[in-house]
Amino acid sequence: MESRYPGEACIHCHLCQKNCMFLSKYKIDIGDTEKLKKLSMHCFLCGKCTRICPKGIDGRKIILEMRRQAATENGEKPAEKGYGMLLWEKRNYRFRNYKNAGGKSVLFPGCNFPSFYPETTKYLAELLKKEADIGIVFDCCGKPVSELGLEKEEKRILADMNKRLDQLGAEEVVMVCPNCYHFLKGRLHARVTDIYSKLLELGLGRKISGEIRIFPPCPDRKGKELLEKMSVFLEGEPCLEEKVQCCGLGGCASVKEPKLAAEITEDLDRRQTVYTYCASCSGAFTRKGYKAEHLLLKILGREETADVKKSLLNRVKSRYWRKKKR
């Protein structure tokens, strides 16, 4: 069984422990397999341990495998309690809406962008429909369910999504969320692209001037693929805010580590605005009282504060949303 977890290559230099608030709290390294098994649901899955490990151990992959094994042994259910509401919403996404697809290309805003920025979501959908006959679908990519270790459910969600998109004749899916982009890229039958590449292709969007601090979201931290794609909209070289390991929402860990999830962003300067390109991050920062803005809104010339008070209601509304007839 140990061979399933490559943590045995760990030399216990404690570098991961020093750079991760979760590992530091429990005084363990990514190679402490038996201890990690008991704490796998407490990890934020941010990937920082992987990025700094001198032996190249993929800590995120290890934790996910532990969660999957635990879920399998528990009858394809999370091994621990506390995820009922998440599964109620995400397993068969309650607010799914494919009524406004149309065309061979569709916008996929994900769950949290419509939650926190409902007006900009509508604006963007109408803009892309007008400029390039791009439709819109509201669905969850399946990553939250996947991160609970529910591998069979993950595969079912992806198969269902592919079926729906195939039936629509969609050949391209334009992702707004970096989590959706990295999770679904290469896994859909349709070509996956990102909103920044699409705006550039259509000659839309404006340049952002001045010095800005950008918080790269966890899935884009290593390769910075989306950051590079949006760089065409940045006039200056951004200051990257990478000392904070996660916004606190990663890996569904806040269920088990609410205090740590609240403290994990303490190194951010509350006096300055932090920009990000993940609605989950900007929403989390706003809830904690930070000045946070989503870069896509700046590129679109929109002003909308993350609606943290009505985020669930906004998701509910997306299920019934229809484009205005022209």
Domain end position, chosen among 14, 40, 73? 73
pLDDT of residue 34: 93
pLDDT of residue 1: 38
Q: Decide if 188 is inside a domain.
A: yes
Average pLDDT in the 69-76 region? 95
Residue type (1 letter), 28? I
Q: Which pairs count as long-range contacts for 196-201, CB under 8 Å and 24+ apart, including other chains?
A: 196/226, 196/229, 196/230, 196/232, 196/233, 196/296, 196/299, 197/229, 198/128, 198/132, 198/134, 198/174, 199/233, 199/299, 200/229, 200/232, 200/233
Q: Decide if 17 is inside a domain.
A: yes
| Residue 191 shares a structural domain with residue 101 | yes
pTM value is: 0.94
pLDDT of residue 173: 98
| Residue 148 shares a structural domain with residue 228 | no
Q: Decide if 207 is inside a domain.
A: no
Question: Residue 58, exposed/middle/buried by CB under 10 A (0-12, 13-18, 19+)?
Answer: middle
Domain end position, chosen among 26, 46, 73? 73
Average pLDDT in the 169-182 region? 98
**Count of domains observed in the chain:** 3
Q: How confident is the model at residue 242 (pLDDT cuts 50, 70, 90)?
A: confident
Whether 324 shows a pLDDT value over 70: the answer reads no
| Residue 218 shares a structural domain with residue 162 | no
Indicate the average pLDDT of the chain: 94
Residue 275 contacts residue 293 (beta carbons within 8 Å): yes
Q: How open is the CA angle 45-50-53, to the nearest 5 degrees? A: 145
Whether 2 shows a pLDDT value over 60: the answer reads no
pLDDT of residue 283: 96
Q: How confident is the model at residue 236 (pLDDT cuts 50, 70, 90)?
A: confident
Q: Decide if 182 is inside a domain.
A: yes
| Residue 291 shares a structural domain with residue 314 | no
Average pLDDT in the 291-316 region? 96
Residues present in the chain in total: 326
pLDDT of residue 5: 62
pLDDT of residue 83: 96
Q: Decide if 98 is inside a domain.
A: yes
| Residue 113 shares a structural domain with residue 177 | yes
| Residue 316 shares a structural domain with residue 175 | yes
Q: How open is the CA angle 252-172-184, to the nearest 5 degrees? A: 20
Residue 168 contacts residue 98 (beta carbons within 8 Å): yes
Domain of residue 152 covers 89-202+307-320
Average pLDDT in the 181-189 region? 98
Whether 272 shows a pLDDT value over 50: the answer reads yes
**Lowest pLDDT segment from 2-16, 102-116, 150-164:** 2-16
Which pLDDT tens digit goes with each residue over 78-94? 989 999 999 999 999 99
Residue 191 is inside which H or E element, if any? strand 191-194
d(CA 268, CA 242): 10
Whether 107 shows a pLDDT value over 90: the answer reads yes
Residue type (1 letter), 209? S
d(CA 59, CA 41): 13
Q: Decide if 311 is inside a domain.
A: yes
